[in-house]
């Protein structure tokens, strides 16, 4: 009789554990979908709000190349390169 009661108790514990795992899995998936929905809503709102648009940086103006060619210019990054090659 005690063995049968123990088996019944173990079956109930297994059922409770599996039920808890199923509930936790369901909640985890629910959070995934809620999170994805929130991200989508924020993205949609950001595109619709007029003040949320970021201004792009202005492109620097480029100089015209010399008429005779020879467009090489000794700029700061070229000087830095030459300094790194010194032994």
Residues comprising the chain, all counted? 87
Please give the Cα distance from 1 to 18 (Å, whole number).
26
Cα torsion 18, 22, 28, 29 to 10°: value is 150
pLDDT value for 64: 75
Print pLDDT tens along the chain (87 aa): 777 877 887 777 777 777 888 888 888 888 888 888 888 887 777 777 766 556 666 777 777 766 776 667 788 988 999 999 987
Please give the Cα distance from 75 to 40 (Å, whole number).
45
SS3 62: coil
pLDDT value for 52: 52
- Sequence-ordered list of residues with C-beta below 8 angstroms from that of 45, at least 6 positions apart, any chain: 52
pLDDT value for 56: 67
Nearest to 75 by CA among 58, 55, 60: 60
Question: pTM (2 decimals)?
Answer: 0.33
């Amino acid at each position: 009789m005690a063995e049968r009661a123990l088996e019944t108790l173990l079956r109930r514990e297994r059922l409770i554990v599996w039920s808890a795992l199923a509930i936790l899995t369901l909640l985890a998936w629910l959070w995934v979908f809620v999170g994805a929905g929130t991200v989508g809503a924020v993205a949609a709102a950001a595109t619709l709000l007029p003040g949320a648009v970021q201004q792009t940086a202005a492109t620097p103006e480029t100089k015209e190349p010399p008429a005779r060619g020879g467009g090489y210019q000794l700029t700061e990054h070229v000087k830095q390169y030459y300094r790194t090659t010194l032994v």
